C-alpha cells in the first residue's frame, strides 16, 4: 500500500524523505515522488519504478533544496502505475501539494463537480480530487487552512492518510487521517509524518498516533493537533521501544531471511512474559475466570497468513478448551451479517493492525456489542487501539511482505490462549499444562535446528525453480500448515500452488496431478498418519513427486516419499511452529532461484489498508 512521509525542520528535507520512503518500501509500491518547498515555490519530482529511480532523478535529493516537504510511494489503485499518476499531486496553481494513502470512494462525484467548476485534471487518480478540493475551499475560506482541511474532510468518503504543503504557508506540514495509518514523530532536528514508525526511527522515538479524523500541523519546533471540527486537542506522545536495527537487514541478503532467523527470539519473546510459576497468565486479557468460563463461541477473523494461524487455532482451542471456534476471512465476515451472540468473543488477528478488512470486522463486532480481542504485532496500531483487549505478539518490525516471524508469534499467542482457557475451564490437568510448557519452551531451539538444515532444503528447492504447479496436502492442523506453505510459495515465487485437505483429493483435485508434479505432504498428526499416507500413495501412483514433512519417528515414510524433511518431537498441537520452517525456506529458495524480488513481490503490499 502507499507510504507517505513528510518533514519540516532545519535540515534539507529531500534526503530525509528518501530515507523515510526507503523504510516504507516493504509496503509495496510502483512509483515514488517528493514535493519540496524551495523558498519560492513547491517543486515536485516523481517517477514510476523503484525509489532508486527517484534517488537518481534527484541525485539523492541534492537537486531539491528546501527544508519542508512531503514524499510518497504509490501502490496503484485508481489509474495505472505511471509518472502522471505518481504522487505528489498539485492543484492547478501548483501552490498546494498532496500525498495520499487510501481510497477516496466518492472521487468520481467530486471530480465531476470540480470539472463543472472549471478545474482540470491531469492524472487518473482519486487523490488529485483532494488537491483541487483543497484549492476550492482555500479560496472559499479566504486562506483559512484548518477550515479548508475540515471542509475537505467532511466532503471526502473512504480512507485517507494525507500529507499536504501549501506554498503560501511554507512553514507548516499538514496531515490528517481516516482509516489509513499515520504517525507524527517529534525530534530536535525537526518534525516528521509517516505511514509507519520505521520511517522516523532514525530521528526519533517520540511518536504520536493520529486517530481517525484528527489533523496534525507540524512546524519546525511545534506540533499542534485539531479534531474534525477544527478545535485544538491535546495528544500524548508514545516512546517506541524498538531497536532501530530491527528495521535493517543486518547483513542478511533479504529481510525475509533475516526475519526467518529471528523466529526463535520472536517465539521466546511472545511466550516468556506469559508464563508465571509454571502456569499461563495472560494479564492483558483483563477477563475474569467467570468471563472466560462463560465464553460460548469464539470467532477468529483475519486475512492471509493471519487467517491461516486462525485455522490452526480452531483445532487447538476446540481440542483443548472445548470452546467452539469459527474462523472467517475478514473480507467475508464484514459483509455476511455474522450471527454473534452474547457470550461470544471475536478475536481479530493482524500483524500490522491496520488491515482494512480486519479493522472493519472488528468494528462490526463492536457495533454488535461483542467483546473483541486483538492479537496484534504493531504497538499502537488501529486494531490494537480499537479492540477491547489486546494481546501483543512481540515479533518487532516485520519488513518483508511475506510474513514469517509474525506468523510464528501469532501461533504462539493462539497456543497460550487455548491452554489458558483450558486451564481456567479445568479441561487440562496441572501435569498436562506443565508438559505443554516444556514443549513450548523447546520450540525456539527446535526452530534453530530446522533453520540450520537450510542447505538440504535449498537443494530440493533448486530442482523446483521451474515448477508450474505445486500442491500441499494434509489433514487437520497439517492442512492449515499446508495453506500457509502454499501461500508463502506463490506470493514470493509466482509458482502456482494450492493447499488441499488431503481427504478432498478424490473429489476433484487429484485430476490435476501429472507426471512430475510436486506434492508437499505434511504428516505430523499421528492419529492421521495412515489416512494421509494413503493419499500420498494415491498421488504418487499418478506420477507425483512427494516431499513429505513429518515427525522424526515416522521414518517409515521414506519408503513412499521422494524427499523427507523431519521435524523434532513436540506436542501434536504445536507442530505448525516447526513444520512451517522448512516450507518457508523452500518458498524462499525457489524465489531466490527464480530471481524474484523476495521482499517486495509484485502486486503485493505489506499492509493492506484498502478494501
Contacts to ligand M6R by CB under 6 A: 303-306, 350-352, 355, 358, 401-403, 487, 491, 607-608
Which member of 2, 23, 111, 258 is catalytic?
2
Measured CA angle at 98 (ends 219, 11), to 5 deg: 40
CB closest to ligand M6R, residue no: 304
Nearest to 18, CA basis, from 39, 38, 3, 40: 3
Min CB(48)–ligand M6R separation in Å? 23
406/419 with CB nearer ligand M6R: 406
304/482 with CB nearer ligand M6R: 304
> Cβ-count burial of 85 within 10 angstroms (0-12 exposed, 13-18 middle, 19+ buried)?
buried
125/355 with CB nearer ligand M6R: 355
Q: Which residues pair with 32 in a beta bridge?
A: 47, 73
Nearest to 588, CA basis, from 580, 598, 597: 598
Give catalytic status of residue 303 as yes or no.
no
Min CB(472)–ligand M6R separation in Å? 15
Phi, psi angles (nearest 5°) of residue 159: -125, 145
Q: Which residues pair with 159 in a beta bridge?
A: 103
359/578 with CB nearer ligand M6R: 359
Min CB(245)–ligand M6R separation in Å? 22
> Cβ-count burial of 453 within 10 angstroms (0-12 exposed, 13-18 middle, 19+ buried)?
middle
Min CB(384)–ligand M6R separation in Å? 12
Residue appearing with cell numbers 537537486: 63
Which member of 314, 405, 454, 606 is catalytic?
606
43/410 with CB nearer ligand M6R: 410
Min CB(354)–ligand M6R separation in Å? 7
Q: Please, are residues 181 and 161 in contact by the beta-carbon 8 Å criterion?
A: yes
Grid coordinates representing 268? 521466546
Under DSSP, the state recorded for 517 is -
401/422 with CB nearer ligand M6R: 401
Q: Is 217 helix (H, G, I), strand (E, B) or coil?
A: strand
Min CB(5)–ligand M6R separation in Å? 20
Cα distances from 574 to residues 298, 419, 439, 542, in angstroms, run: 20, 12, 8, 32
Q: In the chain, helix, strand, coil percent, each to 5? A: 40, 25, 35
Give catalytic status of residue 454 as yes or no.
no
* Cα(424)–Cα(279) distance, integer angstroms: 11
Grid coordinates representing 588? 524462499
User: From start to end of 118-179, where are the E strands?
Assistant: 158-166, 169-178
Min CB(603)–ligand M6R separation in Å? 11
371/377 with CB nearer ligand M6R: 377
Return the active site residues: 2, 606
Amino acid at each position: 500500500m502507499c507510504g507517505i512521509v513528510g518533514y519540516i525542520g532545519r535540515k534539507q528535507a529531500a534526503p530525509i524523505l528518501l530515507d523515510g520512503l526507503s523504510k516504507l518500501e516493504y509496503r509495496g509500491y510502483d512509483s515514488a515522488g517528493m514535493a519540496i518547498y524551495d523558498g519560492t515555490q513547491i517543486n515536485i519530482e516523481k517517477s514510476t519504478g523503484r525509489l532508486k529511480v527517484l534517488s537518481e532523478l534527484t541525485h539523492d535529493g541534492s537537486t531539491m533544496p528546501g527544508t519542508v516537504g512531503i514524499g510518497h510511494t504509490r501502490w496503484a489503485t485508481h489509474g495505472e502505475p505511471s509518472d502522471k499518476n505518481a504522487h505528489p499531486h498539485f492543484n492547478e496553481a501548483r501552490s498546494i501539494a498532496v500525498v495520499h494513502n487510501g481510497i477516496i470512494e466518492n472521487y468520481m462525484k467530486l471530480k465531476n463537480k470540480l470539472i463543472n467548476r472549471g478545474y482540470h485534471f491531469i492524472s487518473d487518480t482519486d487523490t488529485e480530487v483532494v488537491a483541487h478540493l483543497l484549492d476550492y475551499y482555500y479560496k472559499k475560506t479566504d486562506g483559512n487552512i484548518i477550515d479548508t482541511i475540515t471542509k475537505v474532510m467532511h466532503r471526502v468518503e473512504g480512507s485517507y492518510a494525507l500529507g499536504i504543503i501549501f506554498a503560501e504557508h511554507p512553514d507548516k506540514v499538514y496531515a490528517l487521517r481516516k482509516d489509513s495509518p499515520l504517525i507524527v514523530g517529534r525530534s530536535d532536528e525537526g518534525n516528521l509524518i509517516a505511514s509507519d514508525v520505521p520511517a522516523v526511527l532514525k530521528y526519533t522515538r517520540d511518536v504520536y498516533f493520529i486517530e481517525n479524523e484528527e489533523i496534525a500541523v507540524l512546524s519546525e519546533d511545534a506540533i499542534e493537533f485539531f479534531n474534525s471540527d477544527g478545535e485544538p486537542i491535546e495528544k500524548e506522545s508514545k516512546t517506541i521501544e524498538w531497536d532501530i536495527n530491527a528495521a535493517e537487514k543486518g547483513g542478511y541478503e533479504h529481510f525475509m531471511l533475516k526475519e526467518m532467523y529471528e523466529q526463535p527470539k520472536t517465539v521466546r519473546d511472545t511466550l516468556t512474559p506469559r508464563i508465571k510459576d509454571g502456569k499461563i497468565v495472560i494479564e492483558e486479557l483483563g477477563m475474569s475466570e467467570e468471563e472466560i468460563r462463560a465464553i460460548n463461541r469464539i470467532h477468529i477473523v483475519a486475512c492471509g497468513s493471519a487467517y491461516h494461524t486462525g485455522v490452526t487455532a480452531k483445532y487447538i482451542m476446540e481440542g483443548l478448551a472445548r470452546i467452539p471456534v469459527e474462523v472467517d476471512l475478514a473480507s467475508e465476515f464484514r459483509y455476511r451479517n455474522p450471527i454473534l451472540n452474547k457470550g461470544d468473543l471475536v478475536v481479530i488477528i493482524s500483524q500490522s493492525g491496520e488491515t482494512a478488512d480486519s479493522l472493519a470486522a472488528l468494528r462490526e463486532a463492536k457495533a454488535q456489542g461483542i467483546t473483541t480481542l486483538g492479537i496484534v504485532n504493531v504497538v499502537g496500531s488501529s486494531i490494537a487501539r480499537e479492540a477491547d483487549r489486546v494481546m501483543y505478539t512481540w515479533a518487532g518490525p516485520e519488513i518483508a511482505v511475506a510474513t514469517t516471524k509474525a506468523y510464528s508469534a501469532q501461533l504462539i499467542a493462539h497456543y497460550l490462549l487455548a491452554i489458558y482457557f483450558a486451564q481456567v475451564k479445568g479441561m487440562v490437568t496441572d501435569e498436562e499444562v506443565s508438559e505443554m510448557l516444556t514443549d513450548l519452551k523447546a520450540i525456539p531451539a527446535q526452530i534453530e535446528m530446522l533453520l540450520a538444515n537450510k542447505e538440504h532444503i535449498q537443494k530440493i528447492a533448486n530442482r523446483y525453480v521451474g515448477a508450474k504447479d505445486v500442491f500441499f496436502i494434509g489433514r487437520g492442523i497439517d492442512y492449515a500448515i499446508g495453506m500457509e506453505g502454499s501461500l508463502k510459495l506463490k506470493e514470493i515465487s509466482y509458482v502456482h500452488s494450492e493447499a488441499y485437505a488431503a481427504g478432498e483429493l478424490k473429489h476433484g483435485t487429484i485430476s490435476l496431478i501429472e507426471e512430475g508434479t510436486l506434492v508437499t505432504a505434511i504428516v505430523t498428526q499421528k492419529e492421521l498418519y495412515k489416512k494421509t499416507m494413503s493419499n500420498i500413495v494415491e498421488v504418487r501412483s499418478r506420477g507425483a513427486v512427494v516431499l513429505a514433512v513429518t515427525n522424526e519417528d515416522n521414518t517409515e515414510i521414506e519408503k513412499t516419499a521422494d524427499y523427507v524433511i523431519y521435524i523434532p518431537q513436540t506436542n501434536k498441537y504445536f507442530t505448525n511452529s516447526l513444520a512451517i520452517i522448512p516450507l518457508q525456506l523452500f518458498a524462499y529458495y525457489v524465489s531466490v532461484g527464480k530471481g524474484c524480488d523476495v521482499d517486495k513481490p509484485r502486486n503485493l503490499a505489506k499492509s493492506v489498508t484498502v478494501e
